[in-house]
């Protein structure tokens, strides 16, 4: 199967601090990107998305940044809370490449009280 | 509005058997995609169904198949189960395709013994 960035790094963050999760994608034709949060025993939960005609999008406490020049995506979480502890996945989609989501390997975020 | 529902939540099967998993998408969503999640390979795309037709397929053997009914509910089947098929099988529903928000169910945890 295909995948993007297959590894599971861990980010430890102090409660109240901001978190930045990074993702490198490989397909320059990708035109839609999504960040998901997955808690233990649950399915991935949609957080925020961004299309390739944008470079920044904000949601509630989250911001996604897209840098198409270096094929990099990041998720910023403001004032990280214990409930933010989970594995975060980026996913990319390209209509030209078959219109199916390709997922990164994920980043585990641990929030320390 | 009900989310994506997958049944059963857990399954234990013996090598060589077959299994059928079910997914009910969000009401009004017409696209259903299936993914396999394992610790070693991450989240990998299996196939996508739209209007009862398989529209896209990942790189899995023919033992993995699926179908979609007129009410958009979908099933996936795995025949001649192998130990390596043990995984979390996730279903995602979208309004149209993977270029729109995709929402996941809780998944079915399949264990092959």
Angstroms from A102 CA to nearest CA on chain B: 7
Q: What ranges in chain A are assigned the alpha helix state H?
A: none
How far apart (Å, rounded) are the C-alpha atoms in residues A10 and B107?
A: 24
Region B4-15: mean pLDDT is: 97
A60-102 pLDDT per residue, tens: 999 999 999 999 999 999 999 999 999 999 999 987 766 688 9
Burial of B45 (0-12, 13-18, 19+ CB in 10 A): buried
Cα diameter, chain A:
44
User: Which residues, other chains included, contact A64 with Cβ-Cβ below 8 Å and sequence gap of 6+?
Assistant: A33, A35, A48, A49, A50, A56, A57, A58, A73, A74, A75, A76
CB B62 within 8 A of CB B71: no
Tell how far CA B103 is from the center of its chain.
13
A89 interfaces chain B, CB cutoff of 8 Å: yes
Angstroms from A73 CA to nearest CA on chain B: 17
More confident residue, A27 or B25: B25
Residues of A with Cβ-Cβ distance to B23 under 8 angstroms: none
A103 interfaces chain B, CB cutoff of 8 Å: yes
- pLDDT for A3 equals 39
- pLDDT for A1 equals 33
How far apart (Å, rounded) are the C-alpha atoms in residues A95 and A52?
A: 12
B42 interfaces chain A, CB cutoff of 8 Å: yes
How far apart (Å, rounded) are the C-alpha atoms in residues A13 and A15?
A: 6
- pLDDT for B10 equals 97
Local confidence band at B32 (pLDDT 50, 70, 90 cut-offs): very high
A67 interfaces chain B, CB cutoff of 8 Å: no
B41-93 pLDDT per residue, tens: 889 999 999 999 999 999 999 999 999 999 999 999 999 999 999 999 999 99
Nearest CA in chain B to A99: B98
Residues of A with Cβ-Cβ distance to B101 under 8 angstroms: 34, 46, 49
* DSSP reduced 3-state for B47: strand
A89, A99, A106: residue with CB nearest B99: A99
Inter-chain contact B90–A45, Cβ cutoff 8 Å? no
Local confidence band at B12 (pLDDT 50, 70, 90 cut-offs): very high
Angstroms from A107 CA to nearest CA on chain B: 11
Inter-chain contact B44–A2, Cβ cutoff 8 Å? yes
- pLDDT for B100 equals 80
CB B75 within 8 A of CB B58: no
pLDDT over 50 at A6, yes or no: no
B98 interfaces chain A, CB cutoff of 8 Å: yes
């Amino acid at each position: 199967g295909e995948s993007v960035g297959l590894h599971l790094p861990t980010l430890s963050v102090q409660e109240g601090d901001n978190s930045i999760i990074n993702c490198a994608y490989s397909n320059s034709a990708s035109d839609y990107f999504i960040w998901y949060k997955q808690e233990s025993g649950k399915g991935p939960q949609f957080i925020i998305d961004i299309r390739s005609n944008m470079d920044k999008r904000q949601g509630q406490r989250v911001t996604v940044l897209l840098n198409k020049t270096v094929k990099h995506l990041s998720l910023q979480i403001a004032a990280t809370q214990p409930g933010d502890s989970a594995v975060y996945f980026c996913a990319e989609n390209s209509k030209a490449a078959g219109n199916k989501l390709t997922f990164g390997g994920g980043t585990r975020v641990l929030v320390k009280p | 509005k009900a989310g994506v529902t997958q049944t059963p939540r857990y399954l234990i099967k013996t090598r060589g058997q077959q299994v059928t998993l079910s997914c009910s998408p969000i009401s009004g969503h017409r696209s259903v995609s299936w993914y396999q999640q394992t610790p070693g390979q991450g989240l990998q795309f299996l196939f996508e169904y739209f209007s009862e037709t398989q529209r896209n397929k990942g790189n899995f053997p023919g033992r993995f198949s699926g179908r979609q009914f007129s009410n958009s509910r979908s099933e996936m089947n795995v025949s001649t189960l192998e130990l390596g098929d043990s995984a979390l099988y996730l279903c995602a529903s979208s309004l149209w395709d993977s270029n729109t928000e995709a929402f996941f169910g809780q998944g079915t945890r399949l264990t092959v013994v």
